[in-house]
Structure 1
């Protein structure tokens, strides 16, 4: 009922002997019940050999071992088969075959593992992408992103062009790469990001290296941030160490690399990186630590600056010079290894390590720079770019002023219980030549010369006497020094003694309290206040009898301004410190034009006041202010319980005030205006007037002997005043014309 196998095998044997081109027709045997063979009937049923997939037992074992599934195969028993055909093993030896099922199982497990890892990778990539997209969405729109403007630097220069201080949030102006020595930016590349020119903002090698180092040491020993990433953090982000911030940092780094050249990125970095001590950028750092601009730093100094950014506080050369130099050595070694410098250059730099400069003096020039910042907005508004401000400050004078204040306190401050001082020096037109607001700027930035208001004491008395002169009195007018009582207030002289009849000139020279209070009550405290304000006092003044003794608080700058009108011949001035303002490329932004308030004191009264205040120096309480060869006018001031001590004096071209005291208003010990303040004033003026030709004071008629006797005192007529608010009323004499002082002095 199937194909005749014997005939088929015979046919295959005969096939090789059949002539070429002959064809043998297949024969079919339908078996019993089917058509007879000789009838040519065909049986279309398939035998086992004709099936596409042979059934078990119908094919040779050799074929079955190769084709059937692993689960259908069985291991050989290892015994020899019997029979001509070799039985089930097809005549093969009894050696067993390898276990194909284990091999297939192993391949299946590996495939499953790879498949799982592949899927995990896909999901991980999706998760990372989602995180990146989320943090990207938290940033400003990328098409509106711009590098924020660097806060402008204000370079404050002295009158001679020398730098006093850099002000603003950065501490130094912007520099360009072309203006720097090549080894300065190369030092930062060598130590912070030696693949800077090869990566695109993120350095995978650097990240991997940092991770390996940190895992090996078990701590954060290295960072994988590129210079671009550090810049991105400084420009746009906070200093928080979070995963979120690092992701945003990476995104912004890619943006920076796409929008700026490597040179621009490096320049931005060098001008923004923080170096400690309030210094942002290499210019500020070079000035802060080495006292020179960045373009002038040496190789050793450049290496120290580059090493500093890793930990500005810990590695600051002013605080930890040993650690700073050790770090600089690492930088120099890296520079040599990477070919930025030769080994010989590195050795030379290591032989002469950089050293931070020590701050010169007490840094008190910064008080003047601070005052510049206080008034700058009034002239140019808010600065939006780096600018250079040239001032009226004289370097020699500011140094002399600093020494005068700091030395007197250092030598005698402890014994006298004096902790602070201030000094202001003005020229006749109001230009500030020197301004010291305290003994040490580093320990206290409060400006006692401009911001502090203290009682001037007897230094206020000239305004009372000027008011008297403007009411027709003269230096020879006589008043009696005697005990007084004004509504229960009984002002006394500092000496506790009374001298009887005195001229106004003597009363001012000796700083007699009783007479000046009588004058203030007689003239009216409001008139005295108006005189002081006309000359330049801007603080509120309490118009009562006590104004004569300087009980209303004023600043040192105000008091010096008011005295300047006496020194310059009677012209009112407004103190000023800014000559001009320019951008760093030289464009003029502001230039001061000559300005004054016009005449505020009559020339004759200026002359008389200068004479009276000159007498205070030659024979009165201000004798320590005498300067050989110069005409000097001055007045001392001491407040109750010696809480404040003043000395204000002037020559023909320079007016200077000195204040000593304590911030907590505690009393000093035996300090008056004629003692320590006079010493400090004298010390400063000797230095300040070096090389200045002496000139007479305005209106001075006393080129003749200065010891010419005063006119004899007149008998004092009875007085009557109409004091304000409760002061005692006394009789006022009938008006009568007195001879002019100069008429009396010169016999006119």
Structure 2
């Protein structure tokens, strides 16, 4: 009883961790405490309960979990194996491309064509043609500003990726989709390495025999299909393995197309600024780098303001990426890049095209070499012609007129000093009305009729009767020419007939001198076009070009020798000292004697001083020339010369629409005068090489005796009329 009533002590777990600062009390027993056993039993009980719960739940959740794990293991197993195989194939592809890559030096100039640099008569560059390559530059020698501008604009992570930028591609796809385009249309997300791979056409060289044209080859290189992009990525990664980053950038700097025929940044810098790419300022570097997105659109020679606006965006990128300080960026924005004097002038576009078309094809249009051509162009005279044409059309032609005009200025030996082929003067590759337009010459052809007569011994003071005149032309019927004024002037001298541009005397003189002889003289003077067979030849019914006509007049000025207009004086390969070609003069065989040429010049001087060409008078200078107006005023000409230069003017519509109120003695003569006022500025007047004819000896004679002493030309005309009209 006593024991049963004994109070039982409560069970208290042993303290596992002693109080701070106290040592645990020593225990006598070595057996596990009761608390530990209870914990063990409790844990065991929980595991048993968990197993029972799984069994009572029917196993549904466990099944799905096991299924998920199985699918996941399957996908993972397939994925890493496929990934491993893909990585092996990619590595193999990269290795194959790597083994085919040449040294860097072999990739810096991959042009299929060469370039042509054109110099004026003073040796200054005024035009470029072909694929211009200024020389090799490297990432080390180029201006740091240009290097930074390219990286900032095209690939800011260039020095951190392995040739392909997944972030860049993803960003480009997102932008394209947001702008309503396909994922691969528009922004490409290409790195500089990928762009370089594209410039190299993935290592496929241009073979003319395998491609329709070089343009077709380049179009194929630029295609953007998914398969092409994949090959481009492989090629880019192989380049990253083969070359250093700076070597890749060097290839890119030398191969990129930058507008106006410039291949590489050195050529572009020389083309637009006249300096090396190693010397460009931040604003110039920004303009050059801005061309990469669209070279033709942003070329400063096409639209300087647009190019400058694009450069400001590039300056902003350079500043944002730390390549320029705020002060440098502000200065670049405030002082945008400007074109060099030669690039801004774009002088002689028509002239340059003509030189390229008339020179040897294998050294001009299809050259595979870099060629330097020295020409006859005088940039002062070229500018004079351009300004004169613009002045007349601004001041004296109605606004909105579609009329065109052309100008050629040359020396007496045929050296062309200036050429304008249309109202748009700063162009290249355009239709050149000075060299390509075949137009009826009108009365500007008449000097060759009188040249023939003078060569045959007739005098400028010989006379011919201006009267109604008709000729039966086989197959065409009767033809009756009339004067421009619809009047007849009776007996006139040859000099007066030319001075007043009378038609009937010109036709009669051509018949007397012989139409075949007239055609011979004209063609030997350089008019190569098909010349009319009938008497209308005398009135300029044939077609010719302005440069042919101007060259023919140069033959009159130089004393009667034929002239071949020329623009090329020296052709050399770049770097060579010895010229491949040299031209010193265009003068050829003599056509008429010196006396006839000087007398004809005297006759043509009276055209300007007293006749139809009066508007071309040049104060202080002797001027000879001839007007020309074709039927219905579809063409108007004035070609004239001083002792130093021959200048030809043509005016008309490209579609042969008649001019309104314009004759050769009107606007064309005024364009001539405005041109020559500028050309002769500061020059000392020189007299023309002309010879006045000896005056005829006049004595008082009965009328019958005077008839016996009529000039040889009169007798020839009377004989001709007797033959034509049977003595009536």
Interval of TM-score (by shorter of Structure 1 and Structure 2): 0.7 to 0.9
Residues 510, 620 of structure 1: 8 Å contact kept: yes
Residues 159, 245 of structure 2: 8 Å contact kept: yes
C-alpha offsets along residues 463-512 of structure 1, whole Å, 9 cap, x if unaligned? Answer: 11111112221111111111100111110111111111111111111111
Tell me the residue number matched to 1:676. 667
Tell me the residue number matched to 1:736. none
Which of 64, 76, 79 is the matching residue for 1:120? 79
1:375 matched to 2:358? The reply is yes
Deviation of 1:336 after TM superposition, in Å, equals 4.4
Which of 145, 163, 166 is the matching residue for 1:183? 145
Residues 136, 248 of structure 1: 8 Å contact kept: no
TM-score, normalising length from structure 1? Answer: 0.74
Distance across 1 between alignment mates of 2:175 and 2:335: 32
Distance across 1 between alignment mates of 2:501 and 2:443: 7
Which of 603, 606, 610 is the matching residue for 2:601? 610
Tell me the secondary structure at the aligned position of residue 414 of structure 1.
Answer: coil
Deviation of 1:694 after TM superposition, in Å, equals 2.7
Residues 415, 669 of structure 1: 8 Å contact kept: no
Tell me the residue number matched to 2:47. 96
C-alpha offsets along residues 713-736 of structure 1, whole Å, 9 cap, x if unaligned? Answer: 974644458989xx945779xxxx
Tell me the secondary structure at the aligned position of residue 564 of structure 2.
Answer: coil
Which of 416, 423, 434 is the matching residue for 1:432? 416
- Structure 2 residue runs without a partner (length 5+): 1-36, 202-219, 473-477, 699-705
Change over 3 Å in CA distance of 1:257–1:672 after alignment to 2? same
Tell me the residue number matched to 2:565. 575
Residues 135, 248 of structure 1: 8 Å contact kept: no
Which of 231, 248, 254 is the matching residue for 2:196? 231
Distance across 2 between alignment mates of 1:113 and 1:384: 62
Q: Which has the higher contact order (CA 8 A, sep 6+)?
A: 2
Tell me the secondary structure at the aligned position of residue 538 of structure 1.
Answer: coil
Distance across 1 between alignment mates of 2:144 and 2:42: 86
Change over 3 Å in CA distance of 1:543–1:415 after alignment to 2? farther
* Correspondences of 1:285-434 after superposition (within 5 Å): 294=277, 297-310=280-293, 328-329=311-312, 331-336=314-319, 338-354=321-337, 365-378=348-361, 380=363, 382-414=366-398, 419-434=403-418
Deviation of 1:261 after TM superposition, in Å, equals 5.5
Change over 3 Å in CA distance of 1:403–1:234 after alignment to 2? same
1:517 matched to 2:507? The reply is yes
Residues 364, 437 of structure 1: 8 Å contact kept: no
* Correspondences of 1:477-516 after superposition (within 5 Å): 477-487=462-472, 488-516=478-506
Change over 3 Å in CA distance of 1:584–1:513 after alignment to 2? same
- Stretch of structure 1 that moved more, 201-210 or 238-247: 201-210
Deviation of 1:230 after TM superposition, in Å, equals 0.8
1:166 matched to 2:166? The reply is no
Deviation of 1:330 after TM superposition, in Å, equals 5.1
Distance across 2 between alignment mates of 1:593 and 1:327: 44
Residues 408, 550 of structure 2: 8 Å contact kept: yes
Distance across 2 between alignment mates of 1:689 and 1:186: 50
Change over 3 Å in CA distance of 1:350–1:720 after alignment to 2? closer
Residues 435, 546 of structure 2: 8 Å contact kept: yes
Deviation of 1:277 after TM superposition, in Å, equals 7.0
Change over 3 Å in CA distance of 1:93–1:574 after alignment to 2? closer
Distance across 1 between alignment mates of 2:99 and 2:725: 79
Tell me the secondary structure at the aligned position of residue 580 of structure 2.
Answer: strand
Change over 3 Å in CA distance of 1:436–1:214 after alignment to 2? closer
Tell me the residue number matched to 2:702. none
Residues 521, 545 of structure 1: 8 Å contact kept: yes
Distance across 2 between alignment mates of 1:315 and 1:233: 21
- Stretch of structure 1 that moved more, 195-204 or 472-481: 195-204
Which of 433, 449, 466 is the matching residue for 2:434? 449
Report how many aligned residue pairs link the two structures.
637
Change over 3 Å in CA distance of 1:332–1:678 after alignment to 2? closer
Residues 153, 171 of structure 1: 8 Å contact kept: yes
Tell me the residue number matched to 2:217. none
Tell me the secondary structure at the aligned position of residue 96 of structure 1.
Answer: helix
Tell me the secondary structure at the aligned position of residue 628 of structure 2.
Answer: strand
Distance across 2 between alignment mates of 1:671 and 1:185: 57
Deviation of 1:635 after TM superposition, in Å, equals 0.8
Change over 3 Å in CA distance of 1:154–1:461 after alignment to 2? same
Distance across 1 between alignment mates of 2:719 and 2:424: 48
Distance across 2 between alignment mates of 1:414 and 1:151: 45
C-alpha offsets along residues 396-448 of structure 1, whole Å, 9 cap, x if unaligned? Answer: 11111112222222323327966100111111221100111101146881100
1:531 matched to 2:524? The reply is no
- Structure 1 residue runs without a partner (length 5+): 1-85, 733-748
Which of 225, 230, 248 is the matching residue for 1:247? 230
Distance across 2 between alignment mates of 1:332 and 1:397: 39
Deviation of 1:456 after TM superposition, in Å, equals 0.9
Tell me the secondary structure at the aligned position of residue 585 of structure 1.
Answer: coil
Residues 427, 654 of structure 1: 8 Å contact kept: yes
C-alpha offsets along residues 357-393 of structure 1, whole Å, 9 cap, x if unaligned? Answer: 9999996721111111102325736321333222111
Change over 3 Å in CA distance of 1:164–1:277 after alignment to 2? closer
Distance across 1 between alignment mates of 2:501 and 2:45: 137
Deviation of 1:601 after TM superposition, in Å, equals 2.1
- Stretch of structure 1 that moved more, 209-218 or 281-290: 209-218
C-alpha offsets along residues 13-62 of structure 1, whole Å, 9 cap, x if unaligned? Answer: xxxxxxxxxxxxxxxxxxxxxxxxxxxxxxxxxxxxxxxxxxxxxxxxxx
Tell me the residue number matched to 1:4. none
Structure with greater Cα Rg: 1
Distance across 1 between alignment mates of 2:308 and 2:282: 13
Change over 3 Å in CA distance of 1:172–1:413 after alignment to 2? farther
Residues 117, 127 of structure 2: 8 Å contact kept: yes
Tell me the residue number matched to 2:459. 474
Change over 3 Å in CA distance of 1:309–1:477 after alignment to 2? same
Residues 152, 173 of structure 1: 8 Å contact kept: no
Residues 98, 238 of structure 2: 8 Å contact kept: no
- When the two chains are superposed, the root-mean-square deviation of aligned CA atoms in Å is 4.3
Distance across 2 between alignment mates of 1:556 and 1:603: 24
Tell me the residue number matched to 2:634. 643
- Stretch of structure 1 that moved more, 399-408 or 269-278: 269-278
Distance across 1 between alignment mates of 2:249 and 2:363: 32
Change over 3 Å in CA distance of 1:404–1:115 after alignment to 2? same
Tell me the secondary structure at the aligned position of residue 155 of structure 1.
Answer: strand
Tell me the secondary structure at the aligned position of residue 202 of structure 1.
Answer: coil
Residues 439, 635 of structure 2: 8 Å contact kept: yes
Change over 3 Å in CA distance of 1:111–1:234 after alignment to 2? same
Residues 379, 590 of structure 1: 8 Å contact kept: no
